[in-house]
Structure 1
Amino acid sequence: MTQAKTAPLLVELLTEELPPKALARFGEVFSAGVFAGLSQRKLVADNVAYQWFATPRRLAVLIPDVLDIAADQQVEEKMMPVSVALGADGQPSPALLKKLEAKGIAASELPKFSKRMDGKSETFFYTMQVAGAHLNDVLSGIVADALKKLPIPKMMRWGDSDVQFVRPVHGLIQLHGDQLVPGEVLGLPSRQQTLGHRFLSKGLITIPDATAYAETLRTEGKVMADYAERRGTIGGELAAKAQALGAQINQADGLLDEVTALVEWPVVYVGEFESEFLEVPQECLILTMQQNQKYFPLLDASGKLRNQFLIVSNMAVADPKHIIGGNQRVVRPRLSDARFFFTQDRKEPLASRISKLGNVVYHNKLGTQLDRLLRVQNLATQIGNAIGADTTHVARAAELAKADLVTDMVGEFPELQGIMGRYYAQHDGEAADVAEAIADHYRPRFAGDELPSGNVGCAVALADKMDTLVSFFGIGEKPTGDRDPFGLRRAALGVLRLLMERQLPLELPALISWSAGTFPAGTLQADFESGLLAFITDRLRNLLKDQGEPQDVVEAVLGVNPARIDRVPARLAAVREFVAVPDALALAAANKRIGNLLKKVEDLSALGTPSSALTTEAAEKALFDEVTALAPTVSEAVRNEAYTDALMALARVRASVDAFFEDVMVMADDPQVRQNRLALLKTLSDQMNAVADISRLAV
């Protein structure tokens, strides 16, 4: 038998320019797929660290210590139940003979079969020696399978070929050490050559061995193949250029990743535009530079936009003036468009655009954007009145909040909705808090985003998000699995953060009810409110756990369905402190026991108030006295939001509770005595659960 050898394995697929936003994901999925295929065939150890590469024109993976031939394996295969495999005479049945023939197993092998119970039947198993996989035989199939797993939404074909891929393909390398692994993928035969940079390199580049791949491409091809290295290099050059200019970079989510996927040999240059464009709101200029041109705008120390930007180019040249000049010429029309939109939009007051929202459908079951505006305005006014905001300003901000949706600027850049509304409201002379609320009502837009700065903005933001939640839950459009097309999880998180972090004194069930009341009769499904409340509560559970709150503490607080979300942090703090008290867990267990007893009562309200006259046992009388004395203390503490005091007062009854359960038969034969004891436990339970369901703390 030939001795197996190990060597590094390189696989590269050379293509036309790949989709930049998907490049990193392609690189990760492709390399993982190749590694998994090798691992399944025992050609590489499971714990080997591999390196993936991705540039605009290639996907590649380098895996160390890959075997050329895997070791032979003993494989056990279940055949069939013994009762089916053998006839009454003990000879192989036709069914078994047919299966043996299909498997290429001689009938003479039957004595080598093992028997054991499999489920309820005795079953034959056969252990066979399977030859190890040969890398030369399986690699192309592994690569092809890995390519099929890429998250490609739409394939293309080119020329007269039937081959399909996300982009045309030009080359395939399958190199084991310095040996070419033969094979074909996507119609391409394996070879040892690749191409370098489209402009800075000429002709085919030979890769002498797998480990020389990255360095050969770098020196001969002017290609930095490692995605992570290229990204780090770009980030470092951007920071260095900005520092040299005494500026800071306006970072955009995903832009660094996108430019990393657009270049193979990154070089950073500085571009400029006419300072007169700075009269346009900087958000507009920044967005057009980042979104359309993939530039990095520069800001001064105060965060104000400068008339300079950084270009990540794919060309290294001695004199970059033509590259810089070309980019400056290209960006100028974009900035001119932004200036034109801004000038044109301001010719018409923001308020005059409100009626146009009647022509914009929000949802076919929920009416137009104008219908939605009126609902939000109604709800925001109720909220504003409840939190002490200027309701005149709240109503005006809600009325104008969506008007910028029909402006030219927002039509071109939807990301600027709210921001442009603020600028146009300021231009029209609207009150400062009204203008700010127009921008703020979208906040928080994502996890960690800032909240509205004032009560007017909070009222409109809360109304906007509640309307979204009630609208779509009310018509049965709930999130399912990973699908949340209407952003309801984000809206729920926004509601919770507004209530909790801005400490708004509002009850969540009331907010749902207020919002539902703004819809025409028959619009919303019946009884959707409980489902929406459960959905928001589940978002709160996840939010609190993400913030590091202990799970049992979270479940205890949410177990009493707190209506006031602003009070949840104080309740959590009180429970955390209560848990540290020696008697806490014993009381939690007692509360759980009480809860189990009370579950047997059909109508808890019929229990009434416990009576001292019906107490007969000493331990019962003692608990009655303690519970009676405790009630006003707990009630006052909860009313004053002194939740820690309420829980600490409860800790004092532990001894009386233990004695009661030790000495008293709750389910007494006398109905009156039994009902009185249950009423006493119900009263105690109400006090125990006034802050949180402490039974959730029991182990």
Structure 2
Amino acid sequence: MTMTTLLLELFVEELPPKALKKLGEAFAASLADSLKAQGLAPADAAVTAYASPRRLAVQVAGVAAKAADKAQQAKLMPVAVALGADGQPTPALLKKLAALGADASAVPRLKRLPDGKAEALFLDSVVPGATLAEGLQKALAEALARLPIPKVMQYQLADGWTSVNFVRPAHGLVALHGDQVVPVTALGLESGRVTRGHRFEAAVPRISLASADSYAQQLRDEGAVIASFADRRAELQRQLQAAAAAQGLTPIDDEALLDEVTALVERPNVLLCRFEPEFLAVPQECLILTMKANQKYFPLLDAAGRLTSQFLVVSNIRPADASRVVEGNERVVRPRLADAKFFFDQDRKKTLEARVPALAKVVYHGKLGTQGERVERVRAIASSIGQQLGGAALAAQADRAALLAKADLLTDMVGEFPELQGIMGGYYARHDGETEAVAFAVEDHYKPRFAGDALPRSDHGDAGLVLALADKLETLAGLFSIGQLPTGDKDPFALRRHALGVIRMLVERELALDIDALVNIAYDAFPPERIKRNGAELLGFVYERLSGSLREQGYSAAEVDAVLSLRPARLHLVPRQLAAVRAFAALAEAPALASANKRVANILKKAADEPQGEVDAALLREPAEQALAAALAAVAPRADADFERGDYTASLQALAALKAPVDGFFDGVMVNAEDAALRRNRLALLAGLHRAMNRVADLSRLAA
């Protein structure tokens, strides 16, 4: 059986750059998986994906010309139904055989095998393995159908009648098994061995591929194309670093931009360009964003991270004299930078405070009112939090920052580049003469904007932190109150990100704030007639996000469940509680105490309606209950003292001394005694034990 490399390439018009990487990976994976499923390629076959602006391709190593035949056994029907009293096949059996492509001549070969309490007839057969042409045709159809196409195009084939739907018009199909063409069709094309290289710089207009293995090398040598997305990206990154290093600078670090530019060129050529230094008077975030978003340029930064007047462009051609390419790009970028400068200059003619009244005309949400109303809610929340964290001074800073925080939404710069909201507010606040604390707070109040983003800075006080908390809490409370909750993978208002932002700020900055109180403060800022106050639902959402975050950090489900099941209000203490639980779980006594705690919880739950008072020492009749009461009296105060001191590890480890008396109690004492007074006294003793054991975490959640 011939086992060799298979190549399949679809040659198309320029593919959407932001989707190219995903398209290439999906095309290769889907086609290879189908070949493996059909037995045409081994499960561990090496798969190489190729994706350039004008092609999607895949190489699969060790592909067979024909899949191995497969023996199969098909159950037909019970013997009593298949054969008559005379042992001859019934019409039902003959019909079943016909459906399987057999006839009465197969009856002697049928096997009688046990099937439950009766016997059934089985037909053994051999299913011929698929040929590569058949299997590849199926795999190609499946791969095309499953492509994650962002937007489908419809175009006509050469006959002028047939319409095809695909991401871009396709003009060529290559299918090679070794050096042999595999006959398949797709999108109105028939397979061959001819492809095309670079639109302008290929050595030959059409490249006849010698074999599947020569694909990448021939495209590079004859077509001036680096077909592999990964190889092209690595070459682009190498050139960017080299060109920047030659100037003593560093290119902007942007993985998404690197992917997009890789998808725009077939063979990258990095060139150094410059713009007039006077544009550097504009905030660098504006210049960087316009160069990246509009022109796909790579700005260059100095050692201090400041933008310079030099930038890198990536050309898809390599002329002997690149000066005209450089001049063209420098000429194109100037109007963009000039626009940014114009917006910046115009915006500063009006203060942020002067823009605030106009927010009353900007709709925030149909059910939650305007941005102006939202600003007042955020001010109320921020003032309250600021008062708790830093008294009147911090409350006043937070209130001032909250008043100005959304005003930059009405500026020309943010209108052109919404990504700069907050950032531009900080610049304009400084220009208006606001304090650094207020300017930093306005700039940082959207943070963290995404997973892993920095928290608001504390260089100039905590006003930014307070405002960021207030902004996110207002969003969560408002949208939860009107039922705009995330569903499945849909979260149009980024409420999961907002909740995680609140959690990170409380935990990482170790803020001694009560999450229940914060949620109430947020709801208090809304007119009661406008919202449904569902704080319990919002708190549940926050704890769910916290649980997921902690598990991602490496804590086990049992550890997280043990701590969060108590719904701790001070989230900044949760990491210490988890550390204590982990240390406790390592003790030899932990499994027995966790199981005992679970047993105690179940007993108390069943006796929930029975009144329990304080433990009466006179009613402690059995030696085991006396021993437990004495041990608890000795251990509980020490554990409580450690807990109040915040030493949760010591608090839990003190409980280890209870193992023996707890075991003795359950071995020698009947809790549900017939004497009601004894029963209530023993339940009171267990209730005290349960309280002592579950201040840091619900230890029963650690039980196996």
Counterpart secondary structure, 2:637: helix
Unmatched runs of 5 consecutive residues or more in structure 2: none
Matching residue within 612, 623, 636 for 2:617: 612
The residue aligned with 1:523 is: 530
Query: Which has the higher mean CA deviation after the structures are superposed, 17-26 or 157-166?
Result: 157-166
Q: Given that residues 440 and 452 in structure 1 are in contact (C-alpha distance below 8 angstroms), is that contact kept between their aligned partners in structure 2?
A: yes
RMSD: 2.0
1:146 and 2:143 are equivalent in the alignment:
yes
Q: Report which stretch shifted further, 52-61 or 199-208.
A: 199-208
Structure 1 range deviating more: 461-470 or 327-336: 461-470
User: Does 2:420 match 1:416?
Assistant: yes
The alpha-carbon deviation at position 517 of structure 1 amounts to 1.8
Counterpart in the other structure of 1:656: 661
Distance 1:137 1:553 in 2: 53
Distance in 2, matches of 1:110 and 1:438, equals: 85
> Aligned-pair distance for 1:87?
6.4
540, 564, 582: which one aligns with 1:534: 540
1:694 aligns with one of 684, 690, 699: 699
Equivalenced residues, count:
694
| Structure 2 counterpart of 1:355 | 357
Q: CA deviation at 1:642?
A: 2.1
1:168 maps to 2:169: yes
- What is the CA-CA distance between 1:366 and the residue it aligns to? 1.9
568-577 vs 24-33, greater mean Cα deviation: 568-577
- Deviation digits for residues 477-517 of structure 1 (CA, Å, limit 9, x no counterpart): 22222111111111111111001011111111221122122
Give the match for residue 282 of structure 2. Answer: 280
Contact 2:19 2:150 in 1 (8 A): no
Q: Using the TM superposition, name which of 66-75 and 108-117 deviates more.
A: 108-117
Distance 2:532 2:29 in 1: 47
Match of 2:447 in 1: 443
2:243 is aligned to 241
Spell out, residue by residue over 1:94-146, the C-alpha distance to the aligned partner (whole angstroms, 9 max, x if none).
Answer: 45444433332213323434455668986544332111211123323321221
Deviations 1:597-629 (A, max 9, x none): 11212247x312212122111221222233234
1:20 aligned partner, one-letter code: P
CA distance in 1, matches of 2:117, 2:346: 81
Q: How does 1:9-408 map to 2 (within 5 A)?
A: 9-80=6-77, 85=82, 92-114=89-111, 124-159=121-156, 160=160, 161-201=162-202, 202-388=204-390, 390-408=394-412
Residues 1:687 and 1:319: Cα distance change in structure 2 (over 3 Å)? same
1:646 to 644, 651, 655: 651
Inter-CA distance 613–353: structure 2 relative to 1 (3 Å threshold):
same
Which structure 2 residues correspond to residues 459-608 of structure 1 after superposition, within 5 A? 459-525=466-532, 528-603=534-609, 606-608=611-613
Distance 1:614 1:375, change over 3 A: same
Tell me if the contact between 1:6 and 1:68 (Cα under 8 Å) persists in the aligned partners: yes
Q: 1:534 offset after TM fit, Å?
A: 2.0
1:56 to partner: Cα distance: 0.2
Deviation readout 1:63-110 (Å, 9 max, x if unpaired): 121111222111333445556656677655545444433332213323
After the TM superposition, which of the residue ranges 214-223 and 153-162 deviates more from structure 2?
A: 153-162
The separation in 2 between residues aligned to 1:362 and 1:109, in whole angstroms, is: 75
State the alpha-carbon separation in 1 of the partners of residues 90 and 477 from structure 2.
66
Q: Deviations over 1:635-692 (max 9, x none)?
A: 3332222222322322222222222222211111111111110111111111100111
Instruction: Identify if the C-alpha distance between structure 1 residues 80 and 347 changes in structure 2 by more than 3 Å, giving closer, same or farther.
Output: farther
Q: Is the 8 A contact 1:144 1:186 kept in 2?
A: no
Query: What is the identity percentage for the equivalent residue pairs of Structure 1 and Structure 2?
Result: 52
Alpha-carbon distance in 2 for matches of 1:370, 1:659: 66
Q: Counterpart of 1:470 in structure 2: which amino acid?
A: A
Quote the Cα distance in structure 2 between the aligned partners of 1:97 and 1:162.
45
Matches of 1:476 and 1:82, distance apart in 2 = 61
Please name the residue that 2:688 is paired with. Answer: 683
Partner secondary structure for residue 170 of structure 1: strand
Distance 2:284 2:114 in 1: 75
Does structure 2 conserve the Cα–Cα contact (< 8 Å) formed by 1:441 and 1:457? yes
Q: Is the 8 A contact 1:252 1:290 kept in 2?
A: no
The letter of the residue matching 2:286 is C
Task: Rate the CA distance shift 1:592–1:164 in 2: closer, same or farther, 3 A.
Answer: same
CA contact (8 A) 2:40 2:135 kept: no
Residue 522 to residue 320, structure 1, CA distance change in 2 (3 Å) = same
When structure 1 is superposed on structure 2, of 88-97 and 493-502 the one drifting more is 88-97
Greater mean alpha carbon deviation, residues 453-462 or residues 355-364: 355-364
* Partner-residue secondary structure (3-state), 2:163: coil
Name the CA shift for 1:14/1:580 in 2 (closer, same or farther; >3 Å). same
TM-score, normalised relative to structure 1: 0.95
Cα deviation per residue 1:248-295 (whole Å; 9 max; x = unaligned)?
111124011111111111111111100000000000000010111111
Aligned CA distance change for structure 1 residues 368 and 90 (closer, same or farther; 3 Å): farther
Rounded Cα–Cα distance in structure 1 between residues aligned with 2:436 and 2:78: 82
**1:426 alignment counterpart:** 430
Q: TM-score when scaled to structure 2?
A: 0.95
- CA offsets, 1:318-340, max 9 Å, x none? 11101111111111111111111
Deviation at 1:588, TM superposition (A): 1.8
- Looking at structure 2, the residues matched to 427 and 28 of structure 1 have their Cα atoms a distance apart, in angstroms, of 48
Structure 1 contact 196–221 (Cα < 8 Å) conserved: yes
Structure 2 Cα separation of the partners of residues 365 and 371 of structure 1: 12
Query: 1:697: Cα distance to partner?
Result: 2.2
Q: Which amino acid aligns with 2:406?
A: K
- CA change 1:218–1:673 in 2 (3 A) is same
The letter for the 2-side match of 1:459 is V
Deviations 1:408-452 (A, max 9, x none): 111111110100010011111112111111111111112221111
Deviation track 1:357-408 (CA, whole Å, cap 9, x = no partner) reads: 2232222222222222222111111111111251111111111111111211
Distance 1:80 1:683, change over 3 A: same
Q: C-alpha separation between the residues in 2 aligned to 1:117 and 1:578?
A: 55
Tell me, in whole angstroms, the C-alpha distance in 1 between the residues paired with 2:70 and 2:447.
60
**Compared with structure 1, are the counterparts of its residues 312 and 87 closer, same or farther at alpha carbon in structure 2 (3 Å cutoff)?**
farther
How far apart are the structure 2 equivalents of 1:118 and 1:330?
78
Change (3 A) 1:690 1:97: same
Moved more, 529-538 or 43-52: 529-538
